[in-house]
Amino acid sequence: MSNMDELLKAGLDRVAQHGVERLRAEDPDLHDLIEREYFRQSRVLSMVAASSTADPSVLACEGTATMNVTTEGYPGKRFHAGCEVVDEIERLAIERAKTAFGARYANVQPHSGTSANTIVMFSLLQAGDTILGLDLDSGGHLTHGAKASVSGQYFRSFGYGLTEERLLDYDQVRALALEHKPKLIVCGASAYPRTIDFGRFRAIADEVGAYVLADISHIAGLVVAGEHPSPVDHAHFTTTSTYKQLYGPRGGLILIGRDVDTLAPDGKTTLPDLVQKAVFPFLQGTPILSAIAAKARALAMADTPEFRERARRVVADAKALADALLARGYDVLTGGTDNHMVLINVLTNGLTGVVVEKSLEECDIIVNKNKIHGDTKSAFVTSGMRFGTNTLAMRGLGPAEMELCADLVDRVLKGTRPLSDREYELDAGVKAEVRAEVARLCERFPIPHYPLT
Ligand SMILES: Cc1ncc(COP(=O)(O)O)c(C=O)c1O
pLDDT tens-digit map of 132-170: 999 999 999 999 999 999 999 999 999 999 999 999 999
Ligand 1 close to Cβ of residue 161 (< 6 A) = no
DSSP 343: E
pLDDT of residue 5: 78
Closest CA to ligand 1's atom 15? 190
| Chain length of the chain | 453
- State in Å: Cα 241 to ligand 1 middle: 6
pLDDT band of 32, cuts 50, 70, 90: very high
The residues facing 45 across adjacent strands are 365
Q: What's the pTM value of the predicted model, to 2 decimals?
A: 0.96
DSSP string across 10-47: HHHHHHHHHHHHHHHHH-HHHHHHHHHHHHHHHHSEE-
DSSP 246: T
The residue extents of the domains of the chain are 67-302, 316-444
Which residue has better confidence, 17 or 212? 212
pLDDT at 122 over 70: yes
Torsion sign over Cα 106, 111, 113, 114: negative
Closest CA to ligand 1's atom 16? 190
Architecture of domain 67-302: 3-Layer(aba) Sandwich (3.40)
pLDDT band of 7, cuts 50, 70, 90: confident
Give per-residue pLDDT as tens, 354-394: 999 999 999 999 999 999 989 999 999 999 999 999 999 99
- State in Å: Cα 49 to ligand 1 middle: 11
- State in Å: Cα 291 to ligand 1 middle: 17
pLDDT of residue 10: 76
Q: State the amino acid at position 17 in one-letter form.
A: Q
Helix (H) or strand (E) holding 331: strand 331-332
Ligand 1 close to Cβ of residue 182 (< 6 A) = no
pLDDT at 8 over 80: no
Three-state SS sequence of 136-159: HHHCCCHHHCCCCCHHHHCCEEEE
CA triple 236-308-312, angle to 5 deg: 100
Ligand 1 close to Cβ of residue 241 (< 6 A) = yes
pLDDT band of 1, cuts 50, 70, 90: low
**10 Å Cβ neighbour count for 98?**
19
Superfamily for 316-444? Aspartate Aminotransferase, domain 1 (3.90.1150.10)
pLDDT of residue 279: 98
Ligand 1 close to Cβ of residue 96 (< 6 A) = no
Give per-residue pLDDT as tens, 262-312: 999 999 999 999 999 999 999 999 999 999 999 999 999 999 999 999 999
pLDDT of residue 363: 98
Ligand 1 close to Cβ of residue 50 (< 6 A) = yes
For 79-93, b/e burial (b = at least 16 CB within 10 A) is eeeebeebbebbebb
Ligand 1 close to Cβ of residue 114 (< 6 A) = yes
Looking at residues 43-48, what average pLDDT do you find? 97
**Average pLDDT along the chain:** 96
Ligand 1 close to Cβ of residue 231 (< 6 A) = no
SS3 category, 190: coil
Looking at residues 49-59, what average pLDDT do you find? 96
Share of the chain above pLDDT 70, in %: 100
pLDDT of residue 153: 97
Give per-residue pLDDT as tens, 226-255: 999 999 999 999 999 999 999 999 999 999
Whole-angstrom Cα distance, residue 97 to residue 101? 6
